[in-house]
Amino acid sequence: MMHERRPLLAANWKQNLLWHDIESYCEDLRAGLPDYFVEDSEPAIDLLICPPLCYLGLVGALLEDSHVYSGSQLVSMEGGGAFTGEVSAQMVADLGCDYTIIGHSERRNLFGETEEQIGRRIQQAFDHDLVPILCVGEDLETRRAGREQSFVLRQLDAQLQYLGDIDAGELVVAYEPIWAIGTGENASAEDAQQMARLIREWVGSKVSSKVSESVQVLYGGSVKAGNIVEYFSQPDVDGALIGGASLSSESMIAMLQACLAQLRI
């Protein structure tokens, strides 16, 4: 099956892995995915690693000369200055990163991030040429009440002012139902497709039809090698945002290979 947009598999390591683990992870990736490390090859699926901020430089160095992208899990809302502990989008871009995850439910729920703060981070990402991966998704109560679509649309509407004038190809939206994150309980492929379609339609009506064709919509929530293809084969799902299963290079390679095999059918 051909995908209309370039597929993306994004690893969100969260607050996991140490220097030594990262060295062996990247070494295994180099051995297991040789195509991604050849200058003139163009892998059919984009691969992205989002390590903790302090290891962005290390990952960048270990994956140098490859087609594996790196991205941060966070950028500051502020451009720079007296903001102890913060890391700006400009610094992340300066390290060679191309992406940043914004609005992950763990940031929203555990660290109290508001829609306004999320919007300011998106603005910073755009200002420094980082592609934001905007995460949206409902909690279990909302899903049980059958209000998941209006919930996600409200999250998207809250960001409209920041997304209103982007160019094509600069946005990734990850649909991550909170009840499926790290729980082993998955949304069905149909649920993921339905929400991905809704997100794309929202982009089409509120942003532009050009961006709705190019926006990459990912599914996230207990994705692993055994189920990734179910999501990946949905027409509006362009890839996955993967937490737990991205922590082992072996499983990352297995997921990528499963998706590559699906593309060749």
- Catalytically active residues are 104, 176
Q: Which of 12, 88, 124, 159 binds ligand PGA (CB under 6 A)?
A: 12
Which among 36-44, 114-122, 140-148, 217-225 is the span making contact with ligand PGA, rule CB under 6 A?
Answer: 217-225
Minimum distance from CB of 244 to ligand PGA (Å)? 3
Whole-number Å distance between alpha carbons of 96 and 256: 23
By CB under 6 A, the residues from 178 to 207 that bind ligand PGA are: 181-182
Instruction: Indicate the residue among 51 and 243 with the shorter CB distance to ligand PGA.
Output: 243
Q: Which of 177, 243, 251, 252 binds ligand PGA (CB under 6 A)?
A: 243
Q: How many CB atoms lie within 10 A of CB 44?
A: 14
Which three-class secondary structure state does DSSP give residue 175?
A: strand
Calculate the CA dihedral of residues 68, 69, 74, 75 and round it to 10 degrees.
150
Whole-number Å distance between alpha carbons of 222 and 244: 7
Residue 255 binds ligand PGA (CB under 6 A): no
Residue 223 binds ligand PGA (CB under 6 A): yes
Minimum distance from CB of 243 to ligand PGA (Å)? 2
Instruction: Indicate the residue among 43 and 243 with the shorter CB distance to ligand PGA.
Output: 243
Whole-number Å distance between alpha carbons of 263 and 2: 6
Which among 27-35, 112-120, 205-213, 243-251 is the span making contact with ligand PGA, rule CB under 6 A?
Answer: 243-251
Alpha carbon of 3 to those of 30, 33, 175, 214: distances in Å?
25, 21, 18, 11
- Reported as half-sphere exposure (CB side, CA atoms, 13 A), residue 203 has a value of 26
Which residues of this protein are in contact with ligand PGA, per CB under 6 A? 12, 176, 181-182, 220-223, 241-245
